[in-house]
Each structure stands twice: as structure tokens, then as C-alpha cells.
Amino acid sequence: MYIPDARELFHTMASLIPIVQEVLPMIMPASISVTRSADILPPSEHHTSGDQQADDRTDVSPKTVIPAAAPTPAPTPAPAAEGPRVISRDAIVGQAESMCATVLIVKPRSSSLIHHNGEQETIIYVTSGTGVLLAQPKDEDEQHPERHVLGKGDFAYIPAWLEHQAVNESEAEDLVMVVVRSGSAPVEVNLRSWGGAELKEGRS
């Protein structure tokens, strides 16, 4: 009985690849996943003016609300307002193996916590507003983080493990950003300070 050698088996398997590529989509058809803006953004806001009074507490799951933190340098504290000051909403999560998308809304004179995204690389696109993206100082002797001013239409790339913070220093306009990460679901590790310990949930 003839037994093909490893080289013949390799060439035979390689010749089947084009056939598999054609047949696989028919066996496992792909589909487009759409998330409507009405399902992401609070319906009572357009994120253009701080004069609008809206209560997001009934619209935002507690799991998607990121506690606000004082950035460095800290903006002047905003007057007391109803609803969360920093909101993260899932757009496309758990649909792809290697990417996901969320929407981050930072209210005027507010900021996210200092955090990093673990092994995930991140791309940010600003859809409205103006803000500052603070990044971990490169030099250990440097006390102040790097500042990157972002406006509508701007992109920013954040490498894996890099500590950063989104800040809205404006008086009235929301900062709205689309955040795309290189993972099926977002990873976010909040920190007590630049280079500090992880901020555990439920702890100040």
C-alpha cells in the first residue's frame, strides 16, 4: 500500500485551502451587527451644550458608569448636577474576537480615572467637543503627565499598558469619543495615581 510522504501531504492540504475559503462562508455565514446611536447615547441629550439638564441615571447601567476623578492639573470643579459625569457605553462588544468599540462621554469640567487598558491597544476618535488626553510621564523624574489636546475629528493611538486619562476642561460642552480596543471586550484597570496601585471597585 502506498503511503504518501509529508511533502505530498502538505501540498495536498495546501491545495484544499482555496476550497475551504469558498465553502466556509456558506457553512458559517457571517452577518453585520449594527448598534443604533439611540441605544448608545442618552436620548435626551445631543452632547453639544451644558445648558441642557438631563438625568442619565435611569439610562445608564451602573456597570457602565466610570467614577469621575480629579485629573492633573485638575479643572475647576463643576457645579452639582444630576446624573453621572463620565459615561461609558458599549457600542460593539463581544461581536469580534480582536476588537470592540465603546463611546465615552465626559461632562464639562470632569475627567475619567487614571487607567490603562492592559494588553489592549486603543484608538480614540473625537466626535464632538474638545478635551485633553493625559498620558503617563515618560521620565520618572517628571511630575506632570503629557498633555495632548484633542478636538472634533481628531484621532489618538494609545499603546498597551500606557496609563492615561481623558479630561474635559470646557465649561459647557460634552466631550464625546469613540474608543476602539484590540480585544473582544474592553479592559480597563483604574489606578489611584500615575504609576499607583490599582483602584479596586468599591474602594475610594
Contact 122, 94 (CB under 8 A): no
**What integer pLDDT is reported at residue 141 of this predicted model?**
73
Give the cell for residue 142.
517628571
**What integer pLDDT is reported at residue 126 of this predicted model?**
97
List, in sequence order, every beta strand (DSSP E) within the chain. Answer: 86-92, 100-106, 110-111, 115-116, 122-128, 131-135, 146-150, 155-158, 164-168, 175-181, 189-190
Secondary structure of 3-34 in the HEC alphabet? CCCHHHHHHHHHHHHHHHHHHHHHHCCCCCCC
User: How many Cβ atoms sit within 10 Å of the Cβ of residue 1?
Assistant: 2
Q: In this model, does residue 65 exceed pLDDT 80? A: no
Q: Which of 112, 129, 102 is nearest to 47 (CA)?
A: 129
Note the pTM of the prediction, 2 decimals.
Answer: 0.68
pLDDT digits (tens, 9 = 90+) for 34-45: 888 888 876 544
**What integer pLDDT is reported at residue 32 of this predicted model?**
83
Q: Cα(63)–Cα(120) distance, rounded to whole angstroms?
A: 20
Q: In this model, does residue 60 exceed pLDDT 50? A: no
User: How many Cβ atoms sit within 10 Å of the Cβ of residue 20?
Assistant: 10
Identify the bridge partners of residue 100 per DSSP, sorted by sequence position: 181
**What integer pLDDT is reported at residue 135 of this predicted model?**
95
Q: Which of 106, 73, 103, 70 is nearest to 88 (CA)?
A: 103
Q: Cα(51)–Cα(141) distance, rounded to whole angstroms?
A: 41
Give the mean pLDDT of the chain.
78
